[in-house]
Each structure stands twice: as C-alpha cells, then as structure tokens.
Structure 1
Amino acid sequence: MTMESIWKRRQQLHLKKFSRYSKYIFNDHFVIVLLFLIGALAFRYSEFVKTLTPDFVWGEVLIVLLFSLSIFIGKLATLVEAADQVFLLAKEKEWGGYFQKAKRYSLVFPAVLLFFIGAAAMPLLFAGRTIQISDFLPIYATLLLLKSIQLDLQVLALKCNDRAVIQKNNGLLWIFGVLLFSISIFFNPWVAPVLVTLYTVLLHKKVQVRFETKYPLYQWENITAAEEQRTARVNRIINLFTDVPQVKNKAKRRKYLDGILRRVEGKGNTFQYLYARAFMRGTDYSGLFVRLLLIGVVLLAATPAKSLSLALSLLFLYLTGFQLMPLYFHYNENMMNRLYPVPNGDKFAGFKKIITYLLGCEAVAFALAITVGVDWMAGLIALAANLAFVWCFIRFYMGSRTAKRENTFS
C-alpha cells in the first residue's frame, strides 16, 4: 500500500463523514436563520458604507489588519492516525508527498472563506476610492498565496518541536502580510501577488531545505496530538447540531449558575429539578439555547423594519421552543425515571415551567434587541407579541406534541 493510496482512502472517508453530517448542520431551520442573518447584516453594512467619505482611512487600516489575520484561518488537516507512528514509521521519507497532498486539501475551505472575506471587504475599500472592482483579483490572489505559505509553515512545523521558532515564523508571516496588503490597498494591488510569487520561486525552496536540514525528523507525537485536537474541535461544532459518537458530553458543574438554578429548579416538583440541571449542566440544550439567543439578538438589532423584526422574533421563539422539545424525553431511557414515586403529571408540569422560564427570557431579550434596532414602541409591541406567543406555544402546541411522542415511548 502506497502513501498516495493511504491518503486517497482517508480523504474519501473524511469527505464521506462531512457529507453525512452536513445535512444535519444545514437543516431547514439553520438555513432560514442563516439567510435572515446574512441579509440583515448585509443591509446594515450597506447602510454604513453609504455614510463613509473618501477620507475614511481607518477603514482601510482595519481591512489591512483583517486580511493579515485571515490568512491564519484553517489548520492543516493531516488525517494522521495514532497507529501511523508505529506501522508507517518506516515510510518516513514518503511522508513528504503525503503532507503536500494534505496541504492542498486543507487549502480548499480557507480559499472559499477568504473569497467571501475579500468580497465583503471590497465595499469598504470602494468607499475610500482607492480600489476598483477589477482589483479584487490580485487582492484575492495575495490572500490565497499567503495562506498557501502559511500552510507550508504548518507542514514544516511538523518537524519542529520548538514552539518559539513556530511563533517567530508566524509573526514574520503576519508582518509580511501587513506590508503586502498595505501596498495593495494604498499603492498598487498588482504588486503584492508579484512579490509573493517571487518569494515562492526564489526563496521558499531554500528556506524549506534549510529548515528540514535543521529539523530532519517528524515529531510524531506532536503531529498525532495536533490532528486529534483539530478533529475534536470539528466534532464539537458538528455536535451542536447532531449527536457525534466521538464526542462524549459530560455534565459541567457551572457553579456560577447556581443562583439562577435555585430560582428555577422548583421546590415540590422532582422533574423540574431534574430538567433544570439537565439544561444548566449539559452542553446540548444550553448550547443550542445560547446559540439561537445570540443569533436572534444580533439579527433583530440589525433589522430596522418593524414588521420584519417582529416576524423574526416570533420565528426564533418557535425555533427555540421546537429545538428544546427533546429535553422532555431526556430521562426516558433512565429506568430510575419509572421508579420515582411521583405523579406522572409532574413530568409535563416541570418541563412546562422550565420552557416558560427560557422562552420568557428570550422573549424579553428579543424585545430589547428590537428596541435597539427600531424604537421603543416597536420593542413594547414585540414584548407583548412575544409573551403571547410563548403562552400559546406552551398552552396549545407543546402539550399535544409531547403527549404524541410520549405514547411512542410507552
């Protein structure tokens, strides 16, 4: 088995995993929220750009810093496994080609992201009258070339065990990026990609050979640990949308929430006590709630239209309530749940109080966001509409929905 065949097999498995989970990440609810969020932010951004004058130099400075930092987005996906340092150690010289394929594969996602970052920054540069629309091509080429060099540094770092050297290389690349993007934005955008290309052709190979001479062997423990950390971060993001077997959720103490917990746990309802702790100390439901809350607040604060903001507020409340419904069945697989000497009606009563607290807080937060985005009168109307919606959702929808699914578990 060659290293090329090993890479192709692992790449196929990686793409298969991503395609399997992508349908859960980009579900209907998330796509709708994402479209509204992008639309609202784009509208706010366009209104802000209209207010700019050609002497707005600070915006161009911020773009230079943004571009210089954006080249560090994305880690090298080596797809290395722990057993490689034992069973494939004999192919040490062949790993160079493997990691070059990993570098090209790792460049795909940053290339797409850098395209959108560059496209989003262009209106701010147009306002300064220093950039034309045709200048986007050399700026994007500079972003791609610098990102490619940054991935090369990550490949070289696989042989280096000195963190100070790695940080020094990244620092020099960042300074180089600031210089190139300053030239692109303030002087001529076509100069930067030419300089990067000249560096790649004339100096890059010499730097690589010198580095590999000083650090000849791969640091397999560091490579394996880095890939495990990268995979764990990706799995945690996917786990926000669906269960990932590799991610083991653990209850977190979160002592700073004890004051809130004592107020919502209930005194005479066992299930309310359990549901409160499942929400506060777990990561599935609390992460989902916080994510929708933050996205909704940002979106509503950026939406100036009164009727649209009210509709979005009700939509987010429905999405939050709908996504939190599985919390009702959180303890169904626990046999102790059926041995509790408590009335069965306490289960829905306790769940209803927890959802009332959560949706009530979200309704108030959305009303405050609408007050910021529109005016105080729209905020009051939104508060009344939100609270009415929460009452109707809990009173008419949630009971029938949980009762129907409860029968399937019985």
Structure 2
Amino acid sequence: MIDVKKLWSKRQSAHMTEKLKYFSLMANSGLIVSSFLLIIIGSVYYAKLLKVLPEHFPAVLILTIVFSFWLTRSPIRTLLKEGDLVFLLPVESGMKYYFSKSLSSAMASGSFSTLFLFTLMWPIVQVFITDGWMMYVVFGFFLIVSKVFNLYVSWEERRLPYKSHQLNYRIIRFIVNFVYVFLLFEEAYLFLIAMFAIMYVLKNFVFGIFKKMHGYQWELLLAEEQTLKMKSYRLVNLFTDVPALKQMVNKRPWLNSIGTFSFKKGNAMSALYMKTFIRLGDYLGLFVRLTLIGFLFLYLIPKGWWQLAVVLLFFQLLALQLFTLFTQYKWNVSFTIYPIKPSVKMNAFTNWLRQILIVQGAVYGIFYGILTSDWLIAVLMPAAAVLFSLVRLPALAKKHC
C-alpha cells in the first residue's frame, strides 16, 4: 500500500533539492549580473516615470486589469509523474492528503507572489490612489484573500472533464475578480462585503459541488504539471543547461521560409538554427519581448552616448539566452551523428547569432533615430552589435563548447 504522506514529502524534498541546485547554478551566471543592472536602472526610471505621468492617469483601471488577470491565473504544482496514472490511480480515494498539500503549497507561494507584485505596484497606488502603511496592509490583505479563493475554486474547477467548461468558469472568476479589485482600489468597502458574499456562494454552492459530481482528472493534472515544469525549466535554461527541457514545435508557416534548407555542410547548420529559432519553443517570442523591453529603456533613458551601453546590455541578454538553443542539441543523439565537425557547428551558430544581433541592433537604431533624430548614435547601434559579436561571442562560444 502506498503511503501518500511519505510520497508527498519525498517528492517535495526532491523538488526543493532540484530548485536549490539550479538556483546555485543560476547565481554563478553572468545573466544574474545583467538582470541586476536592469533592475537598478528600472527602479531609477520607474520613479521618474511616475513623475511625468499625467494627473488623470487611469491607475485604478490599469491596476484592476493587471490584478484581475493575476488573480484568475491559478497554477498548482502537483508534482505528479507519468507513472502515477498506473500506480496512484487505484488509491485515488486516499489521495486527499496529497492534493491538499499541493493546494496548500500553491496558496503559500501564490500569496507571496501576489504580495510581491503588489509591492512593485505600490508606488503607483501611493501617487494616484492613497498612501500610508495601513492602506498597504489593507490592500495586500484583500488581494491575498482573493488569491487564496481563486486557487481553491480553480482546484475544484479542475475536476471538470472538458476544457471548454473550465474556460467558462474561468471567465466567471475573471469577472468576479475584476469587480472585486476595482471596488478595492476605489475603497468601496461596503460593496466589497457583497462581493465576499458572492465569492462564498461560488465557493460552496457552485465550485463546491464539483467534488461530489466529478473525480480527479488525472490526465489533465499530469499535463498541467508537465507544462508548469517545462516553464520552470525554460526559466532556468536562460542561465544554465537543463537536459530535461522539452520544447514544443510551432508551425509558423509565414516565417518558415526564412530558414531555407541546404544540403551543403556550410549551410545546413545555419538553416537548422534558424528553423529552431522560428519554430521551436519560445525563442522567437523571447527575441520580440527583449526587443520591446529595449524600446522601453531607450524611450525612458535620456538620449546620449550611454544609450549604446543599454543596447550592449540587451545584446548580452539576448546572446546568453539564445546560446541555450545551441546547448540543447548537445543532449540530442541525432544531432551528434551528423557528419559535421563540432567546430563547424559552433561557427555556424555564432555566424547565425551574429546576424540576429545585427538585426536587433538595426531595429534599435531605427527606433532610436526616429525617436530622437540623433542618427549618429542610431547608426552606431548595429555597429555595436557587430563589435559585440566579434569580441564577446567567441568567449561565450568557448564556454558552451
């Protein structure tokens, strides 16, 4: 007979050990330093941004939208494995303790992350809504209560056998969260009491009956656990290699023609990397997001020569994260049997990455030139990408060989 209490403790211990191991590797990465510099720069210009925002800035509406999505999103790590569909399914009736511990863990981490997000948003609340440590405590408390409520009802929501039904109830939760957060930031506490009554009805008389009607959806829970695990692996993979990382392939036919295939040894690897960049996982989305964040920094920071330092920092971030595209193939057996020398593979990758960096530098230059009309610095941005690729990429390539 399987002891579910020992099973949960064992899996949680293994999960925490793995997290600590990867965290130690992340702490030794150069990306930590780059991220730390971005946080410092961002905090400085965050304060400046608050000063230039108009008096009638719709802070309540924006905060309501942000926290409505945040509260509705309710991931729960169950630490399930594929074999559980065979070995744990017969003892489903005894899994209440196991899943209650999963839910409690999700509530603890969700409460902390909600308070962290609210702390980041607190300067906006101070400027446009209200101030004082007492209001920080009140707002933080009500947001944490709502997060716990959402995690609980979303767990019962997972019992529904069809994703379309789950989506319908998720939309209901989003509407309730939207009204709840709007009333909270409008400080309409009397109406909040009515919202608590609605949340109580939903918890006990809507979502509460799901446990009587439906059992655990093991396939759904396993699929969600795999998705959440891969997301955490992708985050760690930005800092260090994760052999267990699996990627999803997207069709993207409108971009697939960019990575034209060639049977020549000199071109095959470049085509492979380009197709991987376009179709596999979130590499393309990563490039777009970093570029857009770079636009924001170029817009907020006063024009001058230090703008070149900003784009060099973003070149470093992009290069470090795209190098995982190369290292993930080291764990692919079919890639190792290609009749191509390792040095040719690395040279093809660095040449391909140099082209990506130059494209990003050109995009930054066009944006900066249109924004400031300072075309000298704008022209130097793609030149900085070339210089970065010639000086920094060889060192990164030697590290990842």
- Please indicate, yes or no, whether the TM-score normalized by the shorter chain is above 0.5: yes
Q: How does 1:315-330 map to 2 (within 5 A)?
A: 315-318=313-316, 320=318
Q: How far off its partner does 1:357 sit?
A: 2.6
8 A Cα contact 1:360 1:390, kept in partner = yes
Structure 1: state its 5+ residue gaps. Answer: none
Q: What residue is the counterpart of 2:174 in the other structure?
A: 174
Within 2, Cα distance between the matches of 1:19 and 1:300?
Answer: 35
8 A Cα contact 1:74 1:109, kept in partner = no
Q: Tell me the TM-score normalized by structure 1.
A: 0.76
**Distance of aligned partners of 1:222 and 1:295 in 2 relative to their CA distance in 1, 3 Å threshold:** same
Q: What residue is the counterpart of 1:140 in the other structure?
A: 140
Q: What residue is the counterpart of 2:380 in the other structure?
A: 384
Q: What residue is the counterpart of 1:276 in the other structure?
A: 270
Q: Deviations over 1:239-271 (max 9, x none)?
A: 444443333458877543466446xx899x742
Q: How far off its partner does 1:280 sit?
A: 0.6
Structure 2: state its 5+ residue gaps. Answer: none
**Distance of aligned partners of 1:124 and 1:190 in 2 relative to their CA distance in 1, 3 Å threshold:** farther
Q: What residue is the counterpart of 1:73 in the other structure?
A: 73
Matched, 1:104 2:104: yes
**Distance of aligned partners of 1:201 and 1:97 in 2 relative to their CA distance in 1, 3 Å threshold:** farther
8 A Cα contact 1:64 1:182, kept in partner = yes
Which residue identity does 2:359 align to in structure 1?
Answer: C
Within 2, Cα distance between the matches of 1:225 and 1:105?
Answer: 19
**Distance of aligned partners of 1:29 and 1:312 in 2 relative to their CA distance in 1, 3 Å threshold:** farther
**Distance of aligned partners of 1:164 and 1:352 in 2 relative to their CA distance in 1, 3 Å threshold:** closer
Q: How does 1:319-358 map to 2 (within 5 A)?
A: 320=318, 333-334=336-337, 336-338=339-341, 353-358=351-356
Q: What residue is the counterpart of 1:16 in the other structure?
A: 17
Q: How far off its partner does 1:101 sit?
A: 0.9
**Distance of aligned partners of 1:254 and 1:204 in 2 relative to their CA distance in 1, 3 Å threshold:** closer
8 A Cα contact 1:275 1:350, kept in partner = yes
SS at match of 1:337: coil
8 A Cα contact 2:259 2:275, kept in partner = no
Q: What residue is the counterpart of 1:157 in the other structure?
A: 157
Q: What residue is the counterpart of 1:210 in the other structure?
A: 209
Larger mean CA deviation between 137-146 and 221-230 belongs to 221-230
Within 1, Cα distance between the matches of 2:124 and 2:197?
Answer: 29
Larger mean CA deviation between 356-365 and 287-296 belongs to 287-296
8 A Cα contact 1:40 1:302, kept in partner = no
8 A Cα contact 1:367 1:382, kept in partner = yes
**Distance of aligned partners of 1:364 and 1:197 in 2 relative to their CA distance in 1, 3 Å threshold:** same
Within 2, Cα distance between the matches of 1:29 and 1:368?
Answer: 28
Q: What residue is the counterpart of 2:229 in the other structure?
A: 231
Q: Tell me the TM-score normalized by structure 2.
A: 0.78
**Distance of aligned partners of 1:67 and 1:291 in 2 relative to their CA distance in 1, 3 Å threshold:** closer
**Distance of aligned partners of 1:386 and 1:171 in 2 relative to their CA distance in 1, 3 Å threshold:** closer
Within 2, Cα distance between the matches of 1:244 and 1:349?
Answer: 23
Within 2, Cα distance between the matches of 1:139 and 1:154?
Answer: 22
**Distance of aligned partners of 1:24 and 1:299 in 2 relative to their CA distance in 1, 3 Å threshold:** farther
SS at match of 1:82: coil
Within 2, Cα distance between the matches of 1:222 and 1:351?
Answer: 38
**Distance of aligned partners of 1:295 and 1:63 in 2 relative to their CA distance in 1, 3 Å threshold:** closer
Q: What residue is the counterpart of 1:120 in the other structure?
A: 120
Within 1, Cα distance between the matches of 2:122 and 2:79?
Answer: 35
**Distance of aligned partners of 1:213 and 1:42 in 2 relative to their CA distance in 1, 3 Å threshold:** same
Within 2, Cα distance between the matches of 1:67 and 1:144?
Answer: 11
Within 2, Cα distance between the matches of 1:382 and 1:243?
Answer: 35
Q: How far off its partner does 1:43 sit?
A: 4.1
Matched, 1:50 2:51: yes
**Distance of aligned partners of 1:278 and 1:284 in 2 relative to their CA distance in 1, 3 Å threshold:** farther
Q: What residue is the counterpart of 2:33 in the other structure?
A: 32
Within 2, Cα distance between the matches of 1:122 and 1:169?
Answer: 30
8 A Cα contact 2:239 2:321, kept in partner = no
Within 1, Cα distance between the matches of 2:126 and 2:399?
Answer: 55
8 A Cα contact 1:37 1:295, kept in partner = no
Q: How far off its partner does 1:77 sit?
A: 1.0
Q: What residue is the counterpart of 2:83 in the other structure?
A: 83
Which residue identity does 1:182 align to in structure 2?
Answer: F
Within 1, Cα distance between the matches of 2:304 and 2:230?
Answer: 42
Cα root mean square deviation, aligned:
4.1
**Distance of aligned partners of 1:285 and 1:325 in 2 relative to their CA distance in 1, 3 Å threshold:** farther
**Distance of aligned partners of 1:109 and 1:299 in 2 relative to their CA distance in 1, 3 Å threshold:** farther
Within 1, Cα distance between the matches of 2:367 and 2:160?
Answer: 49
Q: How far off its partner does 1:237 sit?
A: 4.0
Q: How far off its partner does 1:200 sit?
A: 7.8
Which residue identity does 1:46 align to in structure 2?
Answer: A
Within 2, Cα distance between the matches of 1:256 and 1:165?
Answer: 32
Larger Rg: 1
Which residue identity does 1:10 align to in structure 2?
Answer: R
8 A Cα contact 2:77 2:102, kept in partner = yes
Within 1, Cα distance between the matches of 2:187 and 2:288?
Answer: 44
8 A Cα contact 2:238 2:320, kept in partner = no
